[in-house]
Structure 1
Amino acid sequence: MSTTNTPSQPLLAVLWMMGALASFTSMAVAARELTQEISVFQVTFMRTVICVALLSPYAWKLGRVGLKTTRLKVHLGRNIIHFGGQLGWIFGVSILPLAAVFSLEFSAPIWTAILAAIFLKERLTRIRIISVLLGFAGILVILRPGSELLQPASFAVIGAAVCFAFTYVFTRGLASTEGAFKIIFYMNLIQLPMGLIPSVMLWVTPSQDLLPFVAILGIGGITSHYCIARAMAHADATIVSPLDFLRLPLVAVLGFWLYHEPWNPFVLIGGAITFSGNLLNIWNEHRESKPKAEI
């Protein structure tokens, strides 16, 4: 939600969300191009190198005191799971139509609701249960029996969504003591050696034509989250979140244009159903957070 001290500015929120959409879609295209030559591990490692390089100047400014944490084990657990999510997502991007990857990725908030109920003891209200059921319905539409998407890569993307959901739950716990920059910096710092070891074993020097895609993947990994944070600062989640659905038709157009991926109406319908569950949950939380009128 927008901050209480900042007046709502929907137009600025829309502009920042356009930056987020551009970041997400460009990351998907960059990952697809890179995995034509190098392994998923190496793609993840090179992305992390770029992120660490971009974050290091500010980390240096903060110094040891600013980066000190007493919750290193939580950071470590969060980022091991997130690393697995990245591998699953990039693997899916390398094989599946881009629209299918984004549609299945929309299930992450659904898994978050389930995991928050288990680990954070958050109540599964009737609205949350309906949103979860809509999420599962959307997945079933996409992965219906006989679909060409009923394959291991699709389940890798669903696994990635579950990992991202775990990451969100960890982040909720960390946010009480750790700032956003510290969480992102430790994420990349911890994942750097995790990606390095398998990358060295499978190392392939990418051609010069791929170097811009390495930069796009690393920069997009930071700008996507930054743009969403800025959008949320200018408007309510009920305004910002629906714009996120534009990722699906946008990436479907890019997939058709760049890779001749056919339009699959079941992917778009399933993604819309899953996303509607997310919106229902956001709308309900927004409604409940409003102050009750005095009688």
Structure 2
Amino acid sequence: MNNPLRAAAWMAGAIASFSAMAIAARIVLSDLTPLQLMFYRNIVASGVLLCCLPLIGGHRLIVRQPATQLVRHSVHFAAQYAWFVAISLIPLAQVFALEFTVPIWSLLFAALLLDEKITPPRLAAVALGFLGSLIIVRPGLVPVEHGTVVMLIGAFAFGIAHTLTRKITLTDSPLSVLVLMNFLQLPMAAIAFIFDPIVPPAWQWPCLVSIAIAALSAHYCLTKALSLAPANVVIPMDFLRLPLIALLAWWIFDEMLDLWVFAGATIMLAGIWINLRAERKRSSAPRLS
């Protein structure tokens, strides 16, 4: 399918969910390690999914690409761990700005694994998005921190995971990706958790539940978006997360609100608009038989 407008609507839900998850994670990571957070998040999310399974329907959970699903969820687990580590070390706006190197990797992997064409509008969206991120991060002017390196590695892994999601949703439903992701990642987190167990205080549980629900919502919305349009169309839309998280971090955590963030975001939005406009024309153009 190629429906960029519906994909954009689902990406709006993913952006809101990822932002809520980052805010709640920043709060609990003052006392928990990233692996401890991931363990409890997966417990809550798996419990929610088990309760919802009767409503989902078994036919929507059929897995036709088990090997690809396993690789995707393993790579995504590593990427998610890097994301939480970065959230605990550097400002949220910087985390999201570095995460926006993901479209570059997604573009390359989509061309290699899915044989998707790198059209000029798609290339322009990624190039402008990356340029906007460079304006925000200003490499060479800001010291490279440990959290910065971790997030760049996580972005590379996210690029692989997003591309594999697109491949999976050609045959499997988005719900199968979501359910299997949580059930496979729970033992991954549990193995690490047993070496450093901790019981969160009562005040953290609302945040952990919020993280789990936001994670389910974010990944379902993202998977739906990737099922409606190519990865190199969907992922550039994610640039909208940056100005949103910058404002939230300023309001909640008193993180500095940098004008460079908004300058970079403006360039990112220009790339998104160019890409969506081109894809809309392409999807509405008459096809010759």
In structure 2, C-alpha distance between the alignment counterparts of 1:227 and 1:173, rounded to whole Å: 16
Q: Does 2:21 correspond to 1:27?
A: yes
Judging changes above 3 Å, is the alpha-carbon distance between structure 1 residues 151 and 226 closer, same or farther for their aligned structure 2 residues?
same
- Aligned equivalent of 2:246, options 243, 249, 252: 252
How far has the Cα of 1:226 moved from its partner? 4.7
How far has the Cα of 1:191 moved from its partner? 0.6
How far has the Cα of 1:119 moved from its partner? 1.8
Bigger shift: residues 271-280 or 35-44: 271-280
In structure 2, C-alpha distance between the alignment counterparts of 1:81 and 1:284, rounded to whole Å: 31
2:154 is aligned with what amino acid?
A
How far has the Cα of 1:54 moved from its partner? 1.0
In structure 2, C-alpha distance between the alignment counterparts of 1:156 and 1:93, rounded to whole Å: 10
In structure 2, C-alpha distance between the alignment counterparts of 1:157 and 1:279, rounded to whole Å: 26
Partner of 2:80: 86
2:214 is aligned with what amino acid?
G
- Aligned equivalent of 1:202, options 170, 173, 196: 196
- Structure 2 gaps, min length 5: 228-233
C-alpha contact (below 8 Å) 1:92/1:101 kept by paired residues: yes
Partner of 1:267: 261
C-alpha contact (below 8 Å) 2:103/2:235 kept by paired residues: no
In structure 2, C-alpha distance between the alignment counterparts of 1:70 and 1:18, rounded to whole Å: 28
C-alpha contact (below 8 Å) 1:44/1:195 kept by paired residues: yes
Judging changes above 3 Å, is the alpha-carbon distance between structure 1 residues 268 and 203 closer, same or farther for their aligned structure 2 residues?
farther
Q: How many residues align?
A: 282
Q: What is the aligned-residue identity percentage?
A: 32
SS of 2:194 mapped into structure 1: helix
1:146 is aligned with what amino acid?
L
Partner of 2:37: 43
- Structure 1 gaps, min length 5: 234-239
C-alpha contact (below 8 Å) 1:107/1:274 kept by paired residues: no
How far has the Cα of 1:35 moved from its partner? 1.1
C-alpha contact (below 8 Å) 1:110/1:278 kept by paired residues: no
Q: Does 2:142 correspond to 1:147?
A: yes
Matches within 5 A, 1:1-295: 20-60=14-54, 67-141=61-135, 142-148=137-143, 150-226=144-220, 246-292=240-286
TM-score between both structures, scaled by the size of structure 2: 0.82
2:103 is aligned with what amino acid?
P
Tell me how large the CA RMSD over aligned residues is: 3.5
Cα deviation per residue 1:228-265 (whole Å; 9 max; x = unaligned)?
Answer: 688999xxxxxx99986553333222212322211222
TM-score between both structures, scaled by the size of structure 1: 0.81
How far has the Cα of 1:42 moved from its partner? 1.2
Bigger shift: residues 53-62 or 95-104: 53-62
